Amino acid sequence: MRYLLVDRILEWKTGEQMAGVKNVAMTEDFLEFHFPRNPIMPGVLLLEALLQLAGWLEAASSDFQRWFLPHSVRKCMFYGFAHPGDTVELEVRAQAAQDPSRRSFEGVCSVLRTKRVVAEFEGEAIPLAHVEDPAEQQRMFHLLTRRGPMK
């Protein structure tokens, strides 16, 4: 099973930052058991949404030649929950990495401008073609940014 956890990309600055949203719907299958009668989006999936957004930033910044592959989470703080009906605001910012082959990011998930997750993570940029079809990912990016279908 694969979760696509970025529902819309709102803005980005090439190589620097990207903002998007994840809408938490009551029909999400992970809510069925997390937790019965008190559904919340698992914190690790909020972190995964940030990692995916970093992937989109790397792809958009490289003309869909690269994708971000995470290796480690240096720091992750959880401050609250995301419930069904919430719109989770996602933001990632590229940080300076000591090694030029590495990528480093800081990410924040918020609901109504209240922090839910703050994380710092790093990894590497890999060829997008090693994990996905670049043309298909570019089409998906156009849908996520509401730029319409690519011709």
Catalytic residue numbers? 34
Q: What are the strands, taking DSSP E only, across 43-98?
A: 66-78, 87-95
Handedness of CA 57, 20, 32, 82 (dihedral sign): positive
CA dist., res. 68 & res. 65, Å (int): 11
CA dist., res. 106 & res. 116, Å (int): 14
